[in-house]
Chains A and B, each alone.
Chain A
Amino acid sequence: MAFLNLAFAFLYQLGDAFSFLVLAACGLAVVFGMMGVINLAHGELIMCGAYVTVATTRAGLPLPLGILSGALVAGAVGMLLERLVIRHLYGRPLDTIVATWGISLVATQGTLILLGSSMPGVGTPLGSFAVGSYSYSAYRVVLMLAAILVLVGLYAVFNATRFGTLARATIQVPHMAEALGVDTRAIYALTFGIGAALAGLTGGLYAPTMTIVPTMGTTFIMEAFVTVVVGGADIFLGTAPAALVLGAVRALLTSWQGQLFGQIGLLVTVILVIRVLPSGISGLILRERA
């Protein structure tokens, strides 16, 4: 029994680290992994989702609908950004760094000016449950399920729908897709919008468990980039295993030596993975397959 309790404790921690990495990274995996856009404002899209979720929930909407509206608003903001800024920078990945850094400055400070330095939270729903001598938050199990659902959903959208096929075609050979009559501009905008909506969803999901402040997005951004880079270009083959590996590294190191080692371990893993597998885990899987 004691062993089972311990095993559950480890699985819970692994799942918690895994879901955080997957959710932090999923939007970026679409935007960076697929489109090659380095979006430093990714954290601010997450913040946007969290703010909308908290505001609508406090206004009386049930939390799940609040989270959904957070995702939708972030998605719309994302498409607007794509139209105004990102669209002009395709093929100039390094310039997007500067532009999106600028956007994140505007978003963070603009939120501070408009909405004040912090917002009261909504409280974590669903209470807790106990296994052995430990008690756990039930909501974090919801987060784990959400992470898995997002992965499955992404796979379905990009592999089993007409939009998904067109999107992958557009991103791989844009002029060919265009020649075949695909409205590539709309595809790019929509893909970016999906990435932004996923970021908003993450913000909404984590909003009840965190302090709602303008700078809250920055706590996601490092983990997001790390996961996407370790995963490599293919989001479905890459992101999930990368999050699993990194989640295990972090959970083990954190329970062994504390949070500092968890964080440094994460960064060192990235350096090693890039050195050994320059195109990430998905690159390795594809190479094995080929």
Chain B
Amino acid sequence: MLRILRRLEGPQTIGRGPAFWAAFGLVLAAAAAYPWLVDGYTVGNTAYFFCWVFMALGLCLIWGYGGALSFGQTAFFGLSGYAYGVLTLNVGAAYGFTLVAVALAVALSALMALLLGYFLFFGRIGGVFLGIITLSVTLVMERFMAQTAGPEWRIGAARLNGYNGMSGMPPLTLPWPGGDLVLFPDVALYYALLGLLAVTYLALRILVNARFGNVLVAIRENPERAEMLGYDVRRYQLGAFVIGSALAGLSGTLYTAWGQYITPSSMGLTAAALPVIWVAVGGRGDLTATLVGTLAVLGGFQALTIYGSQYALVVMGLLLVVAVLTAPEGFVVALLRALGRAWPGRRRGAPAP
């Protein structure tokens, strides 16, 4: 047990030592106190941002650590979202079935990732081509779902409903003594997602600092060398792809339950590019950077849209260009580096450049 916990810090993640974990605890405490400081809308909106972070963390694992850029994580997002809808519309929300539906939907995504990943990695497809195939997959799914408007497209009681999207599925429901607890986008959902996010983040930290993560990074740095050392490159990449895609699926189910709605455009070109941007802007090489970066980009872009009127998209575009040019490893990583320089005691925490 202690050995596993020791993997919470290591060469593959930024941040170690008491200072980092004190800061982590402080942030977690602040996040836990947050709902009591702001209004209901802000809590629900932050919970909504949390929904997307899982997909970003998954892509960080596949791309940042594994070195394989998947441009089609939204395929798994959409698949799980629709699966959640189909399952809950047919079975309902009683006895905490929504949680079972989440688990089944995520498992479905993992299964599809296993099949697609087998096709890709065991076919030795890499680099840009990997991105193009995964993008093609998500676009095929989008186009297909978009034309399922007719009443003949139904699975049990659930109408797929084409481009307009599937709606009417119940939100997440926890079985609770004295009546089920419905997780509408409010404080309850916020805490549930915060807990899930913290666990996922820590689990991924352990994973990448364990043998699996070290081999994955070795493959990213030099696949031939890793292969010569006797590692089956394909298996490790497939493993990362399946875990990352399951996380994208988790995002999909959470988003669907949050808005009680899922649409084919969640798998479209724009939607597919967004996770890549979150991860790239924050810093794809590190989980913490991805986590912070994704939340910052989501919140920043939304604020721009609210206050920037029609210039919002222009400013967003310029920010992306500037981000790539000035902070190649990501804004958050650059910021942490700068902090590390300012405060040498933390410097050991940063991975070797």
Number of interface residues of A (CB under 8 A): 42
Shortest beta-carbon distance from A80 to chain B in Å:
13
CB of A98 within 8 A of CB of B320, answer yes
Q: Which residues of B contact A110 (CB under 8 A)?
A: 314
User: Of residues 295 to 333 in B, which have CB atoms within 8 Å of A's CB atoms?
Assistant: 310-311, 313-314, 316-321, 323-325, 328
Shortest beta-carbon distance from B203 to chain A in Å:
26
Shortest beta-carbon distance from A112 to chain B in Å:
7
Number of interface residues of B (CB under 8 A): 39
Set B119, B132, B136, B317: member contacting A102, Cβ < 8 A:
B317
CB of A267 within 8 A of CB of B140, answer yes
- Is A103 positioned at the interface, with any CB of B under 8 Å from its CB? yes
Set A98, A108, A274: member contacting B129, Cβ < 8 A:
A274
In the docked arrangement, what's the CA distance between A107 and B320, Å? 13
CB of B129 within 8 A of CB of A102, answer no
CB of B313 within 8 A of CB of A263, answer no
User: Of residues 67 to 113 in A, which have CB atoms within 8 Å of B's CB atoms?
Assistant: 85, 88-89, 92-99, 101-110, 112-113
CB of B328 within 8 A of CB of A92, answer yes
In the docked arrangement, what's the CA distance between A110 and B318, Å? 11
Q: Quick one: CB contact mask for B267-299 with A, threshold 8 Å, 1 for yes?
A: 001000100110011000000000000000000
Chain A residue, CB-CB nearest to B139: A267
- Is A125 positioned at the interface, with any CB of B under 8 Å from its CB? no
- Is B234 positioned at the interface, with any CB of A under 8 Å from its CB? no
- Is A207 positioned at the interface, with any CB of B under 8 Å from its CB? no
Contacts A113-B310, A275-B123 given; does A225 touch B132 at CB 8 Å: yes
CB of A88 within 8 A of CB of B144, answer no
Set B63, B140, B280, B318: member contacting A268, Cβ < 8 A:
B140
In the docked arrangement, what's the CA distance between A172 and B276, Å? 28
Shortest beta-carbon distance from A111 to chain B in Å:
10
Q: Which residues of B contact A40 (CB under 8 A)?
A: 273
- Is A278 positioned at the interface, with any CB of B under 8 Å from its CB? yes
Set A88, A109, A270: member contacting B313, Cβ < 8 A:
A109
Chain A residue, CB-CB nearest to B116: A271
Q: Which residues of A contact B119 (CB under 8 A)?
A: 275
CB of B132 within 8 A of CB of A109, answer no
Q: Which residues of B contact A92 (CB under 8 A)?
A: 328
Chain A residue, CB-CB nearest to B138: A267
- Is B90 positioned at the interface, with any CB of A under 8 Å from its CB? no
CB of B280 within 8 A of CB of A109, answer no
CB of B313 within 8 A of CB of A108, answer yes
- Is B133 positioned at the interface, with any CB of A under 8 Å from its CB? yes
- Is A182 positioned at the interface, with any CB of B under 8 Å from its CB? no
In the docked arrangement, what's the CA distance between A113 and B328, Å? 30
Set B133, B143, B144, B324: member contacting A270, Cβ < 8 A:
B133
CB of A94 within 8 A of CB of B69, answer yes
CB of A103 within 8 A of CB of B314, answer no
The 6 closest A-B pairs by CB, nearest first: A102-B320, A105-B317, A106-B317, A109-B313, A102-B317, A102-B321
Q: Could you give 14 example pairs across A and B, Cβ below 8 Å?
A: A85-B325, A88-B325, A93-B127, A97-B131, A99-B321, A103-B317, A105-B313, A106-B313, A112-B310, A113-B310, A263-B143, A264-B143, A267-B139, A278-B124
Residues of B within 8 A of A (CB): 63, 69, 119, 123-125, 127-129, 131-133, 136-137, 139-140, 143-144, 147, 269, 273, 276-277, 280-281, 310-311, 313-314, 316-321, 323-325, 328
Residues of A within 8 A of B (CB): 36, 38, 40, 85, 88-89, 92-99, 101-110, 112-113, 218, 221-222, 225-226, 229, 260, 263-264, 267-268, 270-271, 274-275, 278
Other A-B contacts than A96-B324, A97-B273, A99-B324, 18 sampled, CB-CB below 8 A, are: A36-B128, A85-B325, A88-B325, A92-B328, A95-B324, A98-B277, A101-B277, A102-B317, A107-B317, A109-B310, A109-B311, A110-B314, A113-B311, A218-B269, A226-B136, A270-B132, A270-B133, A271-B136
